[in-house]
Amino acid sequence: MESAIKAIEAVKKKERSVLEITSSFLDKIKKEDGKVKAFLEIFESSAIAKAKDIDERISSGKSVGELAGAVIAIKDNILYKGHEITCASKILKGHISAYNATVVSKLLEKDAVIIGRTNMDEFAMGSSCENSAWQKTHNPINNEFVPGGSSGGSAAAVKAGFCHIAYGSDTGGSIRQPASFCGVWGMKPTYGRVSRYGLVAFASSLDQIGPIATNAQDLLLGYKAVKGFDANDSTSIDKEDEKKQFSSLKGMTVAIPSGLSKHDGLESDMAEIFSSLPEKLMDAGIKVIEVDFKSFKYALPAYYILASSEASSNLARFDGFRYGMSLNTGNLNESYMKNRGEGFGPEVKRRILLGTHSLSSGYYDAYYLKAQRVRNFIAREFDEVFSKAEIILAPTSPTAAFKFGERMKDPLSMYLSDIFTIPVNMAGICSLSFPYGKRKSDNMPYGLQIMAPHLSDEFMIKVAGELSCAL
């Protein structure tokens, strides 16, 4: 598939029109998405109208935005004014966005074409895209396997060649894990680097919007297009990226976690691939240090207490009276119970119950405050490691993609898919996943995760681009 950068260059040289590029993606989606089911809705009319407008401005000699020629997909929890948004949940069926997310506004201002909204796990809660109320997205590599989650639709859309770049949200690995499962690149920026305004909140202190692409150059393009301060987001960072410049892999120091094993759910093929990594890094002139990370052990339980607690609060607004579906029985309490009981799926209910319990009187200190202390510990541990190394490398997920239904009856095994990605969200640092190795039995891809300090996002992408070629 042609990259976004090449498409943009072709438009600049007037070798291709934006309408031609957009129409080719629309045709491909119509022919092939019936099997993949990456999209919940195609924005055909608005996409064509946008493409024609850009072409008309080009033909009349007017200036156009830097993304003219790029075709973008957005996850179904990012608001696009005038278009339906459901977060893949029945409770939001029929709700139309009243305004644009800041990310969407930036993309449109730069003349990207937004082609549709992608499927996801309901309210971004899941690791397989099986929790959507509407459909199950299939992994384009092999339709018997899940694409990962919760941004599974976005990762599948990129892998299937339905768009150049797709945006998802990452609360505990929901961009990086599906990127790993689908064999593409996915990034979780530094917390606060990309505005969350217009992103339907799951866990506000952990959520971050980020891009998914087929290569490092498009990933960098997708990140730079949406980064920056936003006064509408109280957690937005009002400063530029650190001036850390990448020059060469030689002389860099890389930290890798020691002692990873099947006890972390690590598949034998991934363990074998990861065990050979230090030697390859040293052959590339990189110094390697091994670190006994406590974060991987403690982050998972602490995360599910904190994220579920925030979800319990954030999802309280969805009662069937203000947004989407409404099943009014004439009795207020009965209506609340019916709307939320029928509107939310089982995983969302599970996390609301867990969060409400953690915040309740008598349990707040024992669970929520203790989890916050663990979060502080994780941040300190990362700071300590980054005082010795520029980046950290770890598996993105312990396994490659699993088949549909394998983990739906065991939520804990599903949660373990994010054991290596969750610490990043807890610390608020940046991270990305790129394809690295395959499972021998079925050639399903693995992902290697690179982690970097706060506001080292562009440095991290450039390092990852070089590493992907060197390893």
Q: How far apart are CA 417 and CA 177, in angstroms?
A: 8
Q: Is 110 exposed, middle or buried (0-12, 13-18, 19+ CB in 10 A)?
A: middle
Is 158 inside a domain boundary?
A: yes
Is 165 inside a domain boundary?
A: yes
For residue range 61-72, list pLDDT tens digits in order: 999 999 999 999
- The count of structural domains within the chain is 1
Residue entry with tokens 């390859």: 280
With cut-offs at 50, 70 and 90, classify the pLDDT of residue 471: confident
Single pTM value for the model: 0.96
Q: How far apart are CA 383 and CA 294, in angstroms?
A: 13
Is 431 inside a domain boundary?
A: no
Query: Tell me, what's the pLDDT at 263?
Result: 59
Is 44 inside a domain boundary?
A: yes
Are 308 and 172 spatial neighbours (Cβ–Cβ below 8 Å)? no
For residue range 126-157, list pLDDT tens digits in order: 999 999 999 999 999 999 999 999 999 999 99
For residue range 356-412, list pLDDT tens digits in order: 999 988 888 889 999 999 999 999 999 999 999 999 999 999 999 999 998 877 777
Mean pLDDT of 312-332: 83
Is 416 inside a domain boundary?
A: no
Are 89 and 39 spatial neighbours (Cβ–Cβ below 8 Å)? no
Nearest to 182 by CA among 462, 401, 414, 411: 401
Q: Is 377 exposed, middle or buried (0-12, 13-18, 19+ CB in 10 A)?
A: middle
Residues carrying an active site annotation: 75, 150, 174
Q: In the 8-state DSSP scheme, what is residue 242? A: P
Is 310 inside a domain boundary?
A: no
Residue 326 has pLDDT above 80, yes or no: no
Are 398 and 470 spatial neighbours (Cβ–Cβ below 8 Å)? no
Residue 201 has pLDDT above 90, yes or no: yes
Distances (CA, A) of 172 to 4, 108, 127, 422: 27, 28, 10, 4
CATH assignment at residue 183:
3.90.1300.10
Is 450 inside a domain boundary?
A: no
For residue range 396-425, list pLDDT tens digits in order: 999 999 999 988 777 777 888 899 999 999
Is 159 inside a domain boundary?
A: yes
Task: Print the domain residue range for 148.
Answer: 4-226
Query: CA geometry: angle at 401 spanning 399 and 404, to 5°?
Result: 130
C-alpha 367 chain-centroid distance: 27
Are 401 and 417 spatial neighbours (Cβ–Cβ below 8 Å)? no
What's the sign of the alpha-carbon dihedral 225, 199, 38, 52?
negative
